[in-house]
């Protein structure tokens, strides 16, 4: 029986190569994952169900990534979480200062490998599929039961396949690809359908852009994005873990409910646009060019990795943030924040007029403390923040790539990254000729 990528992963875990979509199977997840968004509810359900033991403490990863504490109840929840960690000897616990956006933490700490199955009740782990891992999304009650039993019953899902070809354009990112898919392709109605990505074009996508692509799709309800692991993944893993990995590939004649083809060369920079009282639109930059932008938020679950900040800084050529723009930067986790400091990027961003926040502040910003009002259009790279803003009155927010967002921060309005680059180059050239002219005049005076 020819198998899809997800069937290959599941059959290796169960030993049954004849399982098909719709079959219910029992698995033993390799990791159970939770952060502040779900862990305290899970702990309560664990105790309410009469559970007394955790089956595999070494397979549990808990992340405390919320600060500052906003209430007495939250402070008590934090205490109960720490107490749970101690009582059940949870070794893989990441406290403030060592935490961050949940998926980034488990990835950067070397916990994830291709072919692995993880379970959580949070969409924030959806991008683990970029590494060829299957991150199953289940309810908090099911997580509580799995903590005690170490097992889980799941249904073999259907799959749709995206074949990537062509070359990535100069200003195209994973964010643009995700928006392109949402705009031009009719995706399956089944939210549990696996979107499998393969094809020669995958090699064109650096890992950080694959994460950006997956996070855009997850934010719009497509939680299951699965990539074939390749040489980029192997290189990434060799720097972080010695765990066994399985580089599965689907069979050529595997049965997919849909087959899509994407030519990366044909993709142009896009923006998601959300305004109060209107449906989300996905538009070309040209359609909203010169729209003023007053706040820019970069990072967290969208373009919050070190590589993202590098390419953003390269675009703006060390130019300061526009005086009419507030620019907020949020490294995805403590490790990324440390890299920005140790490599000098944090200091550069501060000198250019950026404000840097730890990722533990994301929930504070997400709850719209003064950031989303009608008079202040916002640009963000974070799909999670983009959707959170839609719950606030008078919102006007754009979801864009790292290039588009940095460009808006410098220009003070929406501008194509290529146009900004040309503008900055011309300015640099003009400054160069000015210095040459001044030096020539000074030399004449000496004579």
- Block means of pLDDT (10 residues each) for the chain, length 447 residues? 93 91 94 92 93 94 82 80 94 93 94 96 93 95 94 95 94 97 94 94 94 95 94 91 90 94 96 90 95 95 95 94 96 96 97 94 73 80 90 86 97 96 82 50 51
pLDDT at 444: 45
**Residues paired with residue 164 on neighbouring β-strands, in sequence order:** 262
- In CATH, what number is assigned to the domain containing residue 304? 3.30.499.10
The closest of 266, 326, 268, 303 to 382, measured between CA atoms, is: 303
Q: Strands across the sheet with 159-165, in order?
A: 225-227, 194-198, 159-165, 258-263
Domain count, the chain: 2
* Domain shared by 242 and 353, yes or no: no
pLDDT of residue 343: 97
Q: Would you say residue 398 lies in a domain?
A: yes
Do 311 and 215 have their domain in common?
Answer: no
Does residue 291 belong to any structural domain of this protein?
yes
pLDDT at 372: 64
Does residue 49 form part of some domain?
Answer: yes
Cis-peptide, bond into residue 68, ω within 30° of zero:
yes
How far is residue 24's CA from residue 18's CA, in Å, rounded to a whole number? 12
Shared domain for 228 and 366, answered yes or no, is: no
- Residue pair 312/299 in contact by the 8 Å Cβ criterion: no
What local confidence, expressed as pLDDT, does residue 447 receive?
46
Domain hosting residue 44, numbered range:
5-9+22-265
Q: Is residue 327 part of a domain?
A: yes
Residues 252, 316 within the same domain: no
Measured distance between the N- and C-terminal CA atoms of the chain, rounded to whole angstroms: 88
Crossing angle of helices 306-316 and 334-342, in 10° steps, is: 40
Give the pLDDT of residue 155.
94
Q: Are residues 51 and 162 in the same domain?
A: yes
Alpha-helix residue ranges (DSSP H) falling in 58-193? 72-87, 102-108, 140-149, 174-184
341 and 392 inside one domain = yes
Check whether residue 95 and residue 162 sit in a common domain. Answer: yes
Which of 265, 285, 307 is a domain's end point? Answer: 265
Distance CA 44, CA 367 (A): 24
Comparing C-alpha atoms, which of 5, 1, 383 is closest to residue 194? 5
Q: What is the pLDDT of residue 370?
A: 53
| Inside any domain, residue 329 | yes
Enter the pTM of the model.
0.92
For position 389, what pLDDT does the model report? 84
Is residue 17 in a domain?
A: no
| Position 94 in a domain | yes
Same domain, 123 and 158: yes
């Amino acid at each position: 029986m020819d198998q899809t990528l997800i069937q290959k992963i599941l059959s290796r875990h169960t030993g049954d190569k004849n399982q098909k979509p719709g079959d219910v199977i029992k698995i033993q997840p390799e990791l159970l994952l939770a952060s502040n968004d779900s862990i305290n509810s899970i702990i309560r359900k664990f105790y309410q169900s009469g559970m007394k033991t955790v089956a595999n403490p070494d397979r549990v990863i808990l992340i405390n990534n919320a600060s500052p504490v906003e209430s007495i109840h939250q402070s008590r929840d934090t205490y109960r979480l720490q107490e749970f960690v101690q009582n059940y000897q949870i070794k893989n616990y990441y406290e403030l200062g060592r935490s961050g956006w949940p998926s980034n933490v488990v990835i950067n700490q070397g916990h994830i490998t291709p072919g692995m199955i993880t379970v959580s009740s949070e969409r924030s782990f959806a991008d683990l599929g970029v590494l060829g891992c299957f991150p199953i999304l289940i309810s908090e009650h099911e997580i509580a039961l799995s903590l005690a039993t170490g097992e889980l019953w799941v249904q073999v899902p259907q799959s749709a396949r995206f074949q990537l070809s062509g070359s990535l354009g100069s200003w195209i990112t994973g964010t643009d690809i995700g928006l392109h898919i949402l705009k031009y392709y009719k995706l399956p109605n089944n939210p549990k359908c696996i979107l499998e990505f393969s094809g020669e074009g995958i090699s064109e996508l650096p890992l950080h852009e694959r994460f950006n692509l997956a996070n855009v799709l997850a934010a719009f309800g497509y939680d299951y994005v699965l990539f074939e692991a390749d040489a980029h993944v192997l290189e990434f893993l060799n720097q972080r873990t010695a765990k066994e990995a399985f580089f599965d590939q689907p069979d050529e004649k595997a049965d997919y409910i849909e087959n899509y083809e994407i030519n990366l060369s044909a993709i142009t920079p896009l923006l998601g646009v959300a305004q109060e009282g209107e449906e989300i639109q996905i538009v070309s930059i040209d359609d909203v060019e010169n729209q003023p932008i007053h706040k820019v938020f970069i990072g967290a679950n969208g373009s919050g990795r070190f590589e993202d900040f590098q390419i953003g800084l390269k675009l703006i050529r060390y130019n300061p943030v526009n005086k009419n723009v507030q620019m907020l930067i949020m490294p995805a986790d403590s490790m990324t924040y440390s890299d920005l400091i140790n490599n000098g990027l944090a200091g550069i961003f501060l000198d250019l007029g950026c404000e840097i926040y730890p990722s533990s502040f994301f929930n504070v910003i997400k709850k719209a403390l003064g950031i989303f009002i009608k008079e202040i259009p916002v640009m963000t790279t974070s799909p999670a923040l983009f959707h959170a803003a839609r719950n606030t009155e008078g919102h006007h927010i754009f979801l864009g790539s790292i290039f588009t967002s940095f460009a808006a921060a410098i220009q003070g309005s929406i501008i194509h990254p290529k146009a900004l680059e040309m503008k900055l180059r011309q300015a640099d050239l003009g400054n160069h000729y000015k210095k040459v002219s001044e030096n020539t005049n000074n030399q004449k005076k000496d004579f």
